[in-house]
Amino acid sequence: MATRIGVLTSGGDAPGMNTAIRAVVRAGIHFGMEVYGIRGGYEGLLNGDIKQMQSSDVGGIIHRGGTMLYTARCERFKTPEGQDKGFMMAQNFGLNALVVIGGDGSMRGGIQLAKRGLPVMFIPGSIDNDLGYTDLTIGYDTSVNTVLDAIGKIRDTSESHNRTLIVEVMGRHCGDIAMAAGLAGGAESILVPEQDYDLNLICRRIVEGKNAGKRHYIIVKAEGVKENPYEMAKLLEERTGSETRVVVLGYIQRGGAPDSTDRILASRMGYKAIELIAAGSESRAIGFVGNQIVSYPLEEALNVEKSFDDEFLKIAEALA
């Protein structure tokens, strides 16, 4: 009997999730497996929203944002009863393995299914890049490019109006999106949750910049820095005299076509997940380290602390 696997996307969507689904479905069929799509993450698993997929079902999605399997945040699945039910539903459909595409919460869910005896291959799909065991998560690079595009436009209008702009970006507790887009976008200041910032210094730089004839000052602030950006803007305006505006970029950072980095990453990771299942592997988390696709036991991967390197901040500060 053919190996029968399930695939789902869970948590916040990310550009490249569709590319990963395509890779899992097509590689699975290539290796002689039956592939079942589970719609709406763990919520769909609990509801039995599960259907066999053919190669043609994933045609024309390699370049599309969002996830054709939909996604959800499912509170029920956080309980042992929910997890038991999810495991039983996978058994009802005869699934021998499951591919979970999502962030750290989704990996925690996968670990619970693995503990109950269902092998789980985890593929990191999240714009946040907040998992310590992998250099990249699928969607992060595209998201950084979206922020970069926005910073370019914001710089145009800031320059015209001689303003200070606070651009708040996503990333949950992680400052990676802010650091990468801030450095590449030439931001004057980058604020991340991993490092304290000096408000006096920012104010002084704004004033000095103005005195030197600079007509814009862009602050990229990660959402994980808990200060309210509108209150921060008011304070900066009072203390520097520079008109200050706020842009909270929000969900545009999660949408749009995946770039080449994310498409290649998703294709490689999807293929690797299937290779592991075909080899009869135990549950693993797929990662990307030093340009290689790697895999680790799930709990080991989850427990790798995300490291923080202030190199980008130092360079951005020196070049601003």
Does the protein bind ligand ADP through residue 73 (CB under 6 A)? yes
Does residue 49 carry a catalytic annotation?
no
State the Cα–Cα distance between residues 305 and 28, nearest whole angstrom.
32
Does the protein bind ligand ADP through residue 173 (CB under 6 A)? no
Contact call for residues 219 and 202 (beta carbons, < 8 A):
yes
**Per CB under 6 A, which region of 63-71, 122-130, 189-197, 225-233 contacts ligand F6P?**
122-130
Task: Copy the structure tokens of residue 78.
Answer: 């956080």
Q: What is the longest distance spanned by two Cα atoms in the chain? A: 75
Q: Catalytic pick from 49, 57, 84, 128?
A: 128
Task: Copy the structure tokens of residue 166.
Answer: 């606070």
State the Cα–Cα distance between residues 183 and 202, nearest whole angstrom.
16
Q: Which residues, 90 to 129, sit near ligand ADP by CB under 6 A? A: 102-106, 108-109, 112, 126
Q: Which residues of 201-221 are buried (b: 16+ CB within 10 A; e: fewer)?
A: ebbebbeebbeeeeebbbbbb
Does the protein bind ligand F6P through residue 136 (CB under 6 A)? no
Choose among ligand ADP, ligand F6P, none what residue 105 binds, the Cβ cut-off being 5 to 8 Å by kind.
ligand ADP
Name the CA dihedral angle for 114, 118, 122, 127, rounded to a multiple of 10 degrees.
Answer: -80
Does the protein bind ligand ADP through residue 12 (CB under 6 A)? yes
Choose among ligand F6P, ligand ADP, none what residue 106 binds, the Cβ cut-off being 5 to 8 Å by kind.
ligand ADP
Q: How far is the CB of 257 from ligand F6P (least distance, A)?
A: 17
Q: Which residues, 79 to 108, sit near ligand F6P by CB under 6 A? A: 103
Does the protein bind ligand F6P through residue 125 (CB under 6 A)? no
Closest CA to 40 of 82, 71, 86: 71
**Per CB under 6 A, which region of 6-14, 59-67, 197-205, 266-274 contacts ligand ADP?**
6-14
| CA 73 to chain centroid | 15
Does the protein bind ligand F6P through residue 170 (CB under 6 A)? yes
Nearer to ligand F6P, 118 or 190 (CB): 190
Contact call for residues 284 and 169 (beta carbons, < 8 A):
no
Position 208: which residue type?
A: E
- Cite the active site residues: 128
Binding residues for ligand F6P, rule: CB under 6 A, are: 12, 103, 126-128, 170-172, 223, 254
Binding residues for ligand ADP, rule: CB under 6 A, are: 10-12, 42, 73-74, 77-78, 102-106, 108-109, 112, 126
